[in-house]
A and B are shown apart, each in its own frame.
Chain A
Amino acid sequence: MGPIDAAAVQSALDRFAGREVYLHLETTNGAYAARDSENAMAICAYIRNGRVRYHRGVIRGDGPYRVGLKMDEGWIYAEGLTDWEVDAEGRLLMAGHDSEGRLAIALELSLTPFRM
């Protein structure tokens, strides 16, 4: 993965538009957040292999970036994306890393299911 190139991500998003894709969407602040700070809660949500179809996918921002995927009946949204790659399997992987290199958010699209 490397720093997001918004134009390159945009063309990747366009390639997946209109197709049935597998979605991995995740956000986390770490399982130890509640232990490490009195005022924090551990927060995490993820969907792995959600099957979705969007007709409009757009990346916005100056970094960290936001991505919105507009579906016929709904939206998929991610904020805080910093890095990306299209991997050897053709999957679009995007993630947001904090200053310690820890993942805080991930948004990934694939034409085949992500491995369990």
Chain B
Amino acid sequence: MERHVLVVYPHPDDETFASGGTIALHTRAGTPVTYLCGTLGQMGRNMGKPFFANRETLPAVREKELRAACEALGIRDLRLMGLRDKTVEFEDQEELADRILAVMREIRPSLVITYYPGFAVHPDHNALGAATVRAVEKLPPEERPVVHCSAFARDTREKLGDPDVIIDISSVRDVKLAAIRAHRSQSEAMMARMERDPAYRAQREATLRQEVYWTYRV
């Protein structure tokens, strides 16, 4: 059992899609989880299906959805970093790392979950993953938490090999689904497609059985 888990992702819903099952397993085991969420996903394309949000209402909608998803997953400590969607890579990277480091010094996590720098497709994912790794590097070796990274770039397995951490989340499948539904503006189109497209459904179902990570060797 972990002492405290720190999750660092840039967008509301990253925690759910990438790690919802893993987080639910930790909170059910009584491990506190802190989620440092970089942005409010202000520039998201999904507005609901049929759409109910617009570019200007989306941040508030997504913050509300995020809080509901955290509730479903058992996350009691949600911290918003206040960055803007799509701009994370343009911020001062040392300053970002120092903000994450300050949280690590405060909560002393035994495990950190983030995106694998360079293998997480969205520039915000890669930038915040890199800042998190940088923050861990700033700690003395004996104080460094284990770092598990989520990755989904096409060349991930070719370059990094197979994931070394495979979490069976079938026991918390419904919790992950509830969190996905909580992110209504982002998941409605996906849910509708699952209904009508069996191949897509099979692909999504796999993400409700298992979550995988690559340990980042700092």
Interface residues of A (CB under 8 A from B): 1, 24, 26, 28, 30-32, 34-35, 44, 46, 83, 85, 87, 91, 93, 95, 97, 100-104, 106, 108, 114-116
Cβ–Cβ < 8 Å partners of B54 in chain A: 1, 85, 87, 93, 95
Bitwise, B50-72 to A at CB < 8 A (1) or not (0) is 11001110010000000000000
B47 close to A102 (CB less than 8 A): yes
Majority secondary structure of chain B interface residues (helix, strand, loop or mixed): loop
Interface centre among B44, B56, B152, B189 (most CB of A within 10 A): B56
A101 close to B50 (CB less than 8 A): yes
B51 close to A1 (CB less than 8 A): yes
Cβ–Cβ < 8 Å partners of A34 in chain B: 121
B43 close to A (CB within 8 Å): yes
A97-B47, A102-B46 are known; give 14 further A-B pairs, CB within 8 A: A1-B51, A26-B43, A28-B43, A30-B45, A34-B121, A35-B152, A44-B86, A46-B43, A83-B51, A100-B46, A100-B49, A101-B50, A106-B55, A108-B55
List the 5 closest pairs (A to B, CB-CB), nearest first: A101-B49, A101-B51, A102-B45, A31-B122, A100-B189
Q: How many Å lie between the Cα of A104 and that of B50 in the bound state?
A: 15
Select one of A35, A104, A108 contacting B45, CB under 8 A: A104
Which partner residue on chain B sits nearest A103 by CB separation? B45
Cβ–Cβ < 8 Å partners of A91 in chain B: 56
B121 close to A102 (CB less than 8 A): no
Cβ–Cβ < 8 Å partners of B45 in chain A: 28, 30, 102-104
Cβ–Cβ < 8 Å partners of B189 in chain A: 100-102
B153 close to A (CB within 8 Å): yes
B134 close to A (CB within 8 Å): no
B84 close to A116 (CB less than 8 A): yes
Select one of B46, B49, B55 contacting A26, CB under 8 A: B55
A32 close to B51 (CB less than 8 A): no
Q: What's the least CB distance linking B67 to chain A, in Å?
A: 19
